[in-house]
Structure 1
Amino acid sequence: MRWTDPGCHLPYRRRVPFKPILTARLENGESIPLLFWRLPTPMRAVSSAPLGGGIGLRGWVLNATVPMSYAREDPQQHLVALAGDLDLDGPGVGLLTGVDVTQRVAAVDGEAEVWATVGLGAPIMAAAERDLPRQHKPGTINIVAFVPVRLSDAALVNAVATITEAKAQALWELGLSATGTATDAVTVLCPPDGPAEPYGGPLSLWGARLARAAHRAVREGGSRPKIPWSER
């Protein structure tokens, strides 16, 4: 089954054992949205997030909207504080974005699931000349993915590459000369037990499913008008 649901209602037959929770926190007199996943048990994760990156067991994921003027030099500590306010204990993954996380997109392919918040304010080509003028308009694509089978370390890393390739394909199909933004992050979650799938590339069963779901989520999210949360 393949579909995209911008509201994250998931009526497919075999539901994942967790779903994102949308809430908000009060900062400087403003209610700012954030999205988090409280995992039923710690899961294997690979992530490029500013908090909890790398490979290991993680018990939660947090994707927090921040204003376009965000200039804190301690994002890890900020995310730790936000997680603490939500009673998210132990190791977890923390993400930041200028996108309004209420506009997240969910996509499912088979039993692989992807959630994406898509900000395209500052698209770049990964291999562009480094002396190009600095982009001042923020934008971030955060992707959180889940598969219901254990992936080996190599397959987890491969899955990140596969999702990133699918993201780049979606941006190309949207007419953007870009592979992403400079602050994109990917997180892939899987159970810690059971036989380990050795592959996560686009021709593997789970890599292909992740690629299709990520492509659909990014393309759907990227096709919408984007107004940063702080400009609403």
Structure 2
Amino acid sequence: MTGSEWCNRHEQGEHLPFLVWRLGQPMFVASTASAGGGLGQRAWIVNAQVSHDYDRVDLDAHAAELAALAGLRGAGTTMLTAADINRVGRAEDAGVSAEVTVGLSHPTWAAAPDDPAPHVGTINIVAFVPVALTPAALLGGLCTATEAKTQALLELGVPGTGTPSDAVTIACPTAGDEPFCGVRSTWGARLARAVHAAVLDSARMRV
């Protein structure tokens, strides 16, 4: 299991924590994060708490600042959230691990009408699959994790499929030949159960 560590910083007059995953050897990552997202090798992952009035748009520059504070080198992925990341939920299923931070102030339905003044809310998911997935399977893992998140929210009675700025990051050892990560495949099912449990774990800390 690849676990995170805590780092802290002062920013905009606030004491703000962030979670860091130091991957050792670069891993093959698929991520929907705005900074360092996409598909490729990454040496680290960050999930950083920001202030509720966060308004920076230079996200790559901010990600570089956080990486420097943590002593990180190489290419990485940075996720941001105004949710309290002290309430990180963790779960593992047969070698697949997941850590999730859940903010539910502004749940929304995926197919909702346009909102002229959209709110920001964030559920960030970081998960590790211990086998070498093909690029297509790793991208499929993003879908699997999202479905598992939505299942957890429905079980919690949350009126939405997610929040407006959710992000998912899935990592595996390297690009390989395991072709399946859908919800009923061996590794996809384990990923789904780990993410589902971690979302529930984090969400219940809010009560």
Q: TM over 0.5, yes or no?
A: yes
Is 1:219 the counterpart of 2:200? The answer is yes
Is 1:192 the counterpart of 2:174? The answer is yes
For 2:127, the equivalent position in structure 1 comes to 145
For 1:201, the equivalent position in structure 2 comes to 182
Deviations 1:128-160 (A, max 9, x none): 112x45344x32000000011101011001110
Instruction: Give aligned pairs, total.
Output: 207
State the one-letter code of the partner of 1:209: R
SS of the counterpart of 1:162? helix
Deviation at 1:223, TM superposition (A): 2.4
Deviation at 1:30, TM superposition (A): 3.0
Distance 1:98 1:28 in 2: 13
Match of 2:7 among 9, 23, 35: 23
Distance 1:73 1:49 in 2: 13
Match of 2:144 among 154, 162, 171: 162
Match of 2:95 among 101, 106, 111: 111
Aligned residues: CA RMSD: 1.4
Does the Cα contact within 8 Å between 2:14 and 2:51 map onto a contact in 1? no
- 1:168-183 equivalences under 5 Å are 168-183=150-165
Distance 1:52 1:72 in 2: 16
Deviation at 1:72, TM superposition (A): 1.1
Structure 2: gaps of 5 or more residues:
none
Is 1:61 the counterpart of 2:45? The answer is yes
For 1:229, the equivalent position in structure 2 comes to none
Between 24-33 and 77-86, the greater mean CA deviation after superposition = 24-33
Structure 1: gaps of 5 or more residues:
1-15, 227-232
Distance 1:79 1:182 in 2: 21
Q: Between the two proteins, what is the percent identity of the paired residues?
A: 46
State the one-letter code of the partner of 2:195: A
Distance 2:25 2:15 in 1: 30
